[in-house]
Amino acid sequence: MQTSMTFAVDNRLPEILERMRALYPARPARLTDPLSQLVFSVVAEGAAPAVGLAVYNRLRATFPRWSDLRDAPEEKVSRVLVGVPGGTEKAKALPAIMRRIEDERGAIDLDFLQRLGTEAAARWLETLPGVNASIAAATLSFSDLRRPVLAIGKEGARPIRRLGLAGPSAALSALPRHVAEKAPSSWRAEDFADLGRGLARLGRTVCGEGRPDCKACPLKDLCPSANRQAAEVVAFPGVGKRAVKSARSA
């Protein structure tokens, strides 16, 4: 007899989502087809949003048909991708993605993903050159596939870990699963999409690398990391992080 696993819902998540929507309202956007979203996600990974979009638009203007990108010399693609991190590797991956899709599916499109379950679609996408779990999730979440998955990059990972929605050492690829296990069962695709966008914005602003600006964080009352930092400031005013650790161990 098989039994299904159940997970405890984190009651903070609906409030976190509400605050993210209030602070970072989602702009009405026309949903793109999965292949366009996949290419955009590969191009824009690690780049500032405006830079990623500008380089993607330049790529589409240079290679208006997917077959043009499939046949493009790596050097030409690399020149188009100037400005985004990992441009050389992405210039290798993008034509290879086009060839792999055509070889396996007979055409350069991802319409068949509509017929796959979410996990199966994610696994297939992750077999493509240069496509990791974050890119696969973004393709499923932000395209017209509209699947209920959380797309998280390095910026959004910081608030997730600091909020305790996943352990501090949890792998980036595992974070969507950790959050999904704690999310209300009623959440739809747009809920996960808005949460992912909001946490990414939060990670680019107040929840940055190093010591975050917890005083300015809209989630500080929900965040155990912010509460720990506040306690340190009260107990050791004006003392650096290393000194706090030394004082604790003394």
Residue that is last in its domain, among 108, 142, 176: 142
pLDDT in tens, 72-88: 999 999 999 999 999 99
Does 227 fall in a domain? Answer: yes
* Inter-residue contact 216 to 204 (CB < 8 Å): no
* Inter-residue contact 141 to 196 (CB < 8 Å): yes
How confident is the model at residue 247, as a pLDDT? 33
In a shared domain, residues 39 and 132: yes
DSSP string, 114-174: GGS-HHHHHHHHTTSTT--HHHHHHHHHHBTT--S-----HHHHHHHHHTTSS-TT--GGG
In a shared domain, residues 125 and 45: yes
Residue that is last in its domain, among 121, 142, 163: 142
Does 178 fall in a domain? Answer: no
Q: Which pTM was predicted? A: 0.80
Q: Which tops the pLDDT comparison, 179 or 245?
A: 179
Query: How many structural domains is the chain composed of?
Result: 2
Task: Please tell me the distance from the alpha carbon of residue 142 to that of residue 65, in angstroms, as a whole number.
Answer: 21
pLDDT at position 234 over 60: no
Residue that is last in its domain, among 86, 114, 142: 142
Mean pLDDT for the chain overall: 87
In a shared domain, residues 138 and 218: no
Does 7 fall in a domain? Answer: no
Does 82 fall in a domain? Answer: yes
In a shared domain, residues 138 and 219: no
How confident is the model at residue 166, as a pLDDT? 92
Does 245 fall in a domain? Answer: yes
Does 172 fall in a domain? Answer: no
The CATH number of residue 59's host domain is: 1.10.340.30
How confident is the model at residue 8, as a pLDDT? 79
Residues of the domain holding 119: 34-142
Does 79 fall in a domain? Answer: yes
Q: Which of 6-15, 21-30, 230-239 has the highest mean pLDDT?
A: 6-15
Does 109 fall in a domain? Answer: yes
